[in-house]
């Protein structure tokens, strides 16, 4: 009971500190309007929340000492207990003019913001150290049988579809339609960011960009099915894919993928912008060749490096509207790059048995579940910090801050529960929580940029 209570307190401290950081960035963005006027409640809410979170951190530190937690955990909490009010006082002094850091070449606001990031980072490291110290090593103890580890996939008859409906379903499966909604939302967020800077957006551009994106995702997914067909046959999860079963012959799959790619690039070149077209071509090649062929079967860094393909729609959306690339879009793409390992490592944990049988060096296969969960926590922390940087540059408000903190807190809590429960089902729940985080974040970006 004591360990569970302490984990809850520590998790709440991490989430609370991040919420203070996100709201603090909003306050800084609002400038003078946050001190007086309609946004005054944001500033006062930030101050009140900071005081409450500091009390929570201090209480957690006292609890850690009383429970005689690990030295590193107690030291980290003591540092945060001192550091949180110090960086808060720096911010307050800067607002009332009592501290001049300009002579050092650094603005008070930056010191305050970096202090908040440091406090969040310290507490996240403390949380991970605590979980590593108190939760049994999943690589050395019995837990759920890894999905697909105990049985080989049943052979599937290589027969042609029975009719037009079956054929349509087979070709639709090649396009990986479940990936489309999130990638289209990312492209839409990129367009919304561009619109927030004053760029003109018309309905034709939006529809053509999203349609071209759907076709591009379909092309990349089809090539992925084509190139992975041999390994797909070794995994129960993928053994029934159309190319793996020869339901769609490889030559027809290749022709289908090329047709989708040509249609996508032709549409974007004709209706949108050349840069958006080139970026889309790069995204197809990145996912189908760089990730699928070069990275995934050869290195444990496949997910971390391959995440760039999923981030490109942010740049494509911005380029579709402006014809160029802007810093907000780059930061949004950066959020997705950092989010990808925090997202997909959970799926890899749940299916590590199948990946091992198919000879994929996914991180949980080569480094173990504990190391993968630890890195997932740190990738999540980096994602959350990058989301704050995006909010500052794009000058987002409280809606965005509360969304990234709330959804990020749910994501982190799910990851902590995964540590506690140690099951593949818990890993999959974290995977779905990560999807929800990014979806809500992108929806907040669109709302802040277009509506608010």
Q: How far does the chain reach from its first CA to its final CA, in angstroms?
A: 44
Query: Does residue 313 contact residue 190 with C-beta atoms inside 8 Å?
Result: yes
Would residue 154 count as lying in a domain? no
Please, are residues 126 and 78 in contact by the beta-carbon 8 Å criterion? no
Is the same domain home to 235 and 121?
A: no
Q: What's the domain count of the chain?
A: 2
**Could you give the residue ranges of the DSSP H alpha helices within 297-367?**
302-322, 327-350, 352-357, 363-366
Whether residue 141 is contained in a domain is answered as no
Whether 445 and 193 have beta carbons less than 8 Å apart is answered as yes
Residues 434, 346 contacting (CB under 8 angstroms): yes
What pLDDT shows up at residue 424? 94
Q: Within this chain, do residues 104 and 191 fall inside the same structural domain, yes or no?
A: no
DSSP 325: -
Looking at the domain assignment, is residue 145 inside a domain?
A: no
- CA–CA separation, 398 and 445 (whole Å): 11
Q: Cβ contacts of residue 202 below 8 Å, gap of 6+?
A: none
In a domain, 262, yes or no: yes
The structure tokens 């080139």 sit at 278
Residue 82's CB is within 10 A of a number of other CB atoms, namely 13
CB-based contacts of 326, cutoff 8 Å, min separation 6: 193, 194, 197, 318
333 & 215 share domain: yes
As a whole number of angstroms, the distance between CA 344 and CA 95 comes to 41
Compute the Cα dihedral for 122, 382, 418, 297 and give only its sign: negative
Please name the helix (run of DSSP H) or strand (run of DSSP E) that holds residue 170, with its range, or none: helix 164-174
User: Residues 248, 387: one domain?
Assistant: yes
Same domain, 126 and 199: no
Question: 386 and 438: one domain?
Answer: yes
* Co-location of 100 and 249 in the same domain: no
Q: What is the pTM of this model?
A: 0.90
Same domain, 121 and 170: no
Q: Looking at the domain assignment, is residue 157 inside a domain?
A: no
d(CA 242, CA 237): 13
Same domain, 61 and 208: no
Residue ranges with strand state E in 88-238: none
> Which whole-number Å values give the CA distances from 379 to 96, 304, 343, in the listed order?
36, 9, 9
Residues 265 and 410 in one domain: yes
Residues 93 and 218 in one domain: no
Query: Minimal CA–CA distance to 184: which of 283, 251, 86, 118?
Result: 283
Residues of the chain with pLDDT under 50: 1-2, 32-36, 98-106, 142-145, 148-151, 154-155
**Cβ neighbours of residue 403 under 8 Å, at least 6 residues apart?**
440, 441, 443, 444
Q: Which residue range(s) make up the domain with 87?
A: 2-134
Distance CA 396, CA 189 (A): 13
Six-digit token pair at 347?
């799926």
Distance CA(121)–CA(317), nearest Å, equals 31
Give 396: exposed, middle or buried? Use CB within 10 Å, 0-12, 13-18, 19+: buried
In a domain, 146, yes or no: no
**Final residue of a domain: which of 134, 155, 179?**
134
Q: Is 245 helix (H, G, I), strand (E, B) or coil?
A: coil
The first and second tokens of residue 439, run together, are 């979806």
- Whole-angstrom Cα distance, residue 249 to residue 167? 12
CB 400 within 8 A of CB 391: yes
Q: Is 152 a member of any domain?
A: no
Number of other residues whose CB lies within 10 A of the CB of residue 32 = 8
3-class state of residue 43 by DSSP: helix
Residue 114, both tokens: 């970096």
Domain-ending residue, one of 91, 118, 134: 134
Residues 123 and 171 in one domain: no
Give Cα 344 to chain centroid, integer Å.
9
Is 176 within a domain? Answer: yes
CATH of the domain at 438: 1.10.600
């Amino acid at each position: 009971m004591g360990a569970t209570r302490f984990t809850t307190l520590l998790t709440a401290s991490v989430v609370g500190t991040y919420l203070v950081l996100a709201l603090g960035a909003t306050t800084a963005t609002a400038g003078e309007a946050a001190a007086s006027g309609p946004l005054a409640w944001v500033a006062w809410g930030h101050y009140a929340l900071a005081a409450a979170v500091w009390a929570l951190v201090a209480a957690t530190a006292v609890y850690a000492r009383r429970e005689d937690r690990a030295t590193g955990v107690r030291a980290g909490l003591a540092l945060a207990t001192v550091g949180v009010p110090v960086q808060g006082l720096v911010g307050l002094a800067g607002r009332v003019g009592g501290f001049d850091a300009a002579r050092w070449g650094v603005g008070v606001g930056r010191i305050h913001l970096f202090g908040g990031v440091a406090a969040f980072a310290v507490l996240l490291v403390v949380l991970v150290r605590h979980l590593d110290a108190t939760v049994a090593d999943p690589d050395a103890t019995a837990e759920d049988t890894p999905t697909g580890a105990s049985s080989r996939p049943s052979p599937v008859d290589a027969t042609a579809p029975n009719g037009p409906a079956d054929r349509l379903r087979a070709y639709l499966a090649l396009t990986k339609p479940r990936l489309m909604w999130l990638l289209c939302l990312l492209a839409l967020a990129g367009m919304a960011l561009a619109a927030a800077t004053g760029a003109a957006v018309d309905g034709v551009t939006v529809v053509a960009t999203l349609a071209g994106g759907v076709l591009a995702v379909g092309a990349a997914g089809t090539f992925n099915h084509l190139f992975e067909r041999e390994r797909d046959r070794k995994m129960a999860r993928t053994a029934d894919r159309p190319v793996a079963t020869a339901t769609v012959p490889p030559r027809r799959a290749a022709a289908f993928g090329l047709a989708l790619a040509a249609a996508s690039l032709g549409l974007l070149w004709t209706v949108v912008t050349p840069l958006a077209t080139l970026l889309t071509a790069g995204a197809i090649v990145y996912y189908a060749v760089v990730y699928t062929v070069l990275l995934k079967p050869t290195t444990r860094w496949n997910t971390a490096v391959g995440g760039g393909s999923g981030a490109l729609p942010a740049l494509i959306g911005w380029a579709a509207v402006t014809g160029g690339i802007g810093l907000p879009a780059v930061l949004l793409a950066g959020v997705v790059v950092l989010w990808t390992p925090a997202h997909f490592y959970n799926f890899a944990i749940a299916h590590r048995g199948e990946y091992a049988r198919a000879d994929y060096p996914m991180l949980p296969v080569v480094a173990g579940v504990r190391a993968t969960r630890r890195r997932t926590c740190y990738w999540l922390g980096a994602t959350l910090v990058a989301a704050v940087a995006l909010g500052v540059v794009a000058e987002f408000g409280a809606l965005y801050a509360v969304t990234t903190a709330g959804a990020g807190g749910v994501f982190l809590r799910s990851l902590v529960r995964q540590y506690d429960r140690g099951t593949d089902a818990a890993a999959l729940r974290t995977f779905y929580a990560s999807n929800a985080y990014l979806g809500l974040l992108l929806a907040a970006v669109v709302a802040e940029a277009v509506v608010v």
